[in-house]
């Protein structure tokens, strides 16, 4: 047998035997060539090694070398072995596992577990049928219904993860199931993929529209005030007033654009309304466990909206993750869910592993100075380039937004980079154009959540449900990010002119 034939046969055997895709694995391994390059000035060798580990992990996930949880575990193992974050193996493994104590990650896990109750009790199916009865003549109508649901909840739900992943996503899944669109039988393309994307992309838009719609927004207010020398202070009212018109345009356009980018197989569903009404009649009145589920969701909404603190004072403020655990515990002690339900929810525990690993990598990049180094390099490059003020503002905005590919938390990204970018803009832009720049950066701090399946707490919940492939998620995310930035720049810029902000 010729040598090349033997090599081909050996390759084929090895490719079939190993539990990973061999060619993508070789491509991913090639990323480690970064380690052979000189360490850039301003970074330590350990920081540069961590950059290579992070990029290798992201490429492995994109190319689907193995399931995403396995790739995340690979990152944990490599960080612990290379000791890039510590001086000992004990310290390195503590760093590698440190993010698993993050309240945000557990909020995601518990939200997925609570959503199981909607399916088990049948309440989710009932809610889905109600949506179909109201808007079900066309799939795009249901998409707009989900967007409206997000908009109504946003001012009162300071956790975008709780809103998009804990409240709206179970409703979306129930609607998809009512149309027999389920990843388990490869029928997600009927309506589920489209609705999941609408479910997700409504979340960053509404997060940009209200100060109380996502956790890091108050931090943005503080940074904007500091960068403007306290001349622009965004109260709840001024934030909403500035963002409501471009935000509404984005919500109006988004379901239609996604309809073009990821068209559902079922577009017109003329019989769906009659079917939904007949099914609701067959189901009859609410069952006791449905009432418990409905009451639990009402409790969650009241606590996530921080109403007790508003009524009785800040001592009654509860962290969103605490609220989620309360809801889960209520469902368990009432028998609505049992412990086997908790243990068998594979998507929750899979998300815990892969999202926790990505959060860890992002946090360590910041801790080792990689993010600060990148921000400073961007600042120096802009100053040295001599570019005009419009180009300066555009580059700062786009660099800030698209650097979110490196982050698994909007709060971490905003904390690490936003103030530095705002201060550079305040130094280099004409005073007359500073406010529009600050408002665009404010909008961008939420719009950047569109980009990846790990961009914010909501994304791993919806991505983990299996309706959207990673490639489609990233393609739609990039398009929607660019489109929404353009809408805020054009519509928002004109609106801010009318309001007298520039």
> Is the model's pLDDT at 208 over the cut of 70?
yes
**DSSP conformation class of 417:** I
Rounded to the nearest integer, the mean pLDDT of the chain is 87
Structure-model confidence comparison of residues 479 and 212, the more confident one: 479
What confidence category does residue 46 fall into, taking pLDDT thresholds of 50, 70 and 90? very high
Q: How far apart are CA 456 and CA 179, in angstroms?
A: 28
* pLDDT number for residue 372: 78
* pLDDT at residue 14, as a whole number: 63
Q: Is 312 exposed, middle or buried (0-12, 13-18, 19+ CB in 10 A)?
A: exposed
**In Å, how far from its chain's centre is CA 313?**
31
Residue whose C-alpha is closest to residue 502's, from 410, 424, 429: 429
pLDDT of residue 16: 67
Distance CA 130, CA 276 (A): 7
pLDDT, residue 253, reads: 97
Confidence label for 15 from pLDDT (cuts 50, 70 and 90): low
Mean of pLDDT values over 290-317: 87
- Percent of the chain, pLDDT > 90? 39
- For 107-216, strand residue ranges (E) read none
18 confidence band (pLDDT: 50, 70, 90): low
CA-to-CA distance for 79 and 231, rounded, in angstroms? 44
Q: How confident is the model at residue 261 (pLDDT cuts 50, 70, 90)?
A: very high
Choice between 361 and 492, residue whose per-residue pLDDT is larger? 492
Q: What average pLDDT score do residues 216-231 get?
A: 85
Question: Helix (H, G, I), strand (E, B), or coil: what is residue 48?
Answer: helix
Q: Is the pLDDT of residue 373 over 90?
A: no
The confidence score (pLDDT) of residue 203 equals: 95
Model confidence at 193: pLDDT above 80: yes
Is 80 exceeded by the pLDDT of residue 495?
A: yes
Predicted confidence band of residue 227 (pLDDT cuts 50, 70, 90): confident
pLDDT of residue 167: 81
Strongest mean pLDDT among 99-113, 350-364, 453-467: 453-467
In this prediction, residue 415 carries a pLDDT of 78
pLDDT exceeds cutoff 90 at 302: no
The whole-number average pLDDT for the span 93-112 is: 86
H-assigned helices in 159-191: 160-161, 169-178
Q: Could you state, in order of their start, the residue ranges of all structural domains in the chain?
A: 3-96, 103-215+233-350, 358-498
**Which pLDDT belongs to residue 205?**
97
What pLDDT is attached to residue 248? 97
Neighbouring CB atoms inside 10 A of 89's CB total 11
Quote the tokens at residue 498.
């009318």
Residue with tokens 């655990």: 325
Residue 1, pLDDT score: 53
Residue 138 has φ and ψ, to the nearest 5°, of -140, 145
Q: What is the 3-state composition of the chain as percent helix, strand, coil, each rounded to the nearest 5? A: 80, 0, 20
Q: Which range is least confidently modeled, 149-163, 234-248, 487-501? A: 149-163
pLDDT at 81 over 90: yes
Three-state DSSP at 268 gives strand
Distances in whole angstroms, Cα of residue 268 to Cα of each of 69, 144, 172, 265: 37, 15, 18, 9
């Amino acid at each position: 047998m010729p040598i090349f034939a033997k090599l081909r046969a050996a390759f084929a055997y090895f490719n079939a035997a190993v539990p990973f895709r061999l060619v993508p694995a070789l491509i991913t391994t090639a990323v480690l060539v970064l380690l052979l390059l000189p360490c850039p000035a301003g970074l330590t060798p350990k920081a540069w090694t961590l950059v290579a580990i992070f990029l290798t992990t992201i490429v492995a996930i994109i190319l689907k070398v193995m399931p995403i949880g396995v790739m995340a575990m690979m990152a944990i193992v490599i960080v612990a072995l290379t000791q890039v974050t510590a001086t000992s193996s004990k310290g390195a493994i503590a760093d590698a596992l440190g993010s698993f104590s993050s309240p945000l990650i557990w909020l995601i896990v518990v939200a997925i577990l609570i959503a199981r109750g909607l399916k088990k009790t049948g309440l989710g199916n009932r809610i889905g049928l109600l949506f179909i009865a109201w808007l079900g003549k066309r799939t795009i109508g249901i998409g707009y219904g989900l967007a409206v649901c997000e908009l109504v909840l946003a001012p009162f739900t300071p956790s975008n993860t709780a809103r998009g992943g804990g409240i709206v996503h179970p409703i979306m899944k129930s609607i998809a199931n009512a149309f027999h669109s389920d990843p388990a039988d490869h029928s997600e393309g009927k309506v589920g993929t489209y609705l999941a994307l609408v479910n997700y992309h409504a979340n960053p838009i509404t997060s940009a529209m209200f100060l109380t719609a996502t956790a890091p927004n108050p931090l943005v207010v503080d940074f904007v005030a500091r960068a403007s020398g306290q001349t622009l202070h965004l109260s709840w009212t001024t934030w909403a007033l500035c963002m409501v018109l471009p935000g509404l345009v984005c919500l109006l356009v988004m379901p239609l654009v996604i309809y073009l980018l990821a068209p559902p197989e079922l577009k017109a569903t003329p019989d769906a309304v009659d079917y939904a009404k007949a099914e609701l009649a067959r189901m009859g009145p609410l069952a006791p466990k449905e009432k418990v589920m409905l009451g639990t969701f009402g409790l969650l909404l009241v606590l996530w909206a921080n109403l007790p603190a508003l009524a009785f004072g800040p001592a009654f403020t509860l962290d969103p993750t605490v609220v989620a655990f309360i809801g889960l515990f209520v469902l368990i002690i009432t028998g609505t869910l049992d412990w086997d339900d908790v243990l068998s929810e594979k998507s929750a525990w899979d998300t815990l592993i892969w999202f926790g690993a990505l959060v860890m990598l992002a946090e360590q990049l910041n801790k080792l100075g990689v993010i600060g180094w990148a921000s400073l390099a961007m600042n120096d490059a802009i100053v040295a380039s001599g570019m005009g003020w419009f180009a300066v503002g555009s580059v700062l905005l786009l660099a800030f937004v698209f650097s979110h590919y490196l982050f698994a938390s909007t709060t971490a990204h905003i904390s690490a980079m936003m103030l530095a970018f705002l201060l550079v803009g305040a130094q280099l832009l004409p005073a007359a154009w500073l406010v529009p720049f600050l408002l665009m950066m404010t909008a961008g701090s939420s719009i950047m959540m569109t980009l990846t399946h790990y961009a914010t707490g909501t994304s791993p919940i919806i991505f983990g449900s299996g309706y959207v492939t990673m490639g489609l998620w990233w393609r739609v995310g990039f398009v929607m990010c660019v489109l929404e930035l353009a809408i805020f720049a054009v519509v928002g810029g004109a609106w801010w002119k009318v309001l007298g902000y520039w």
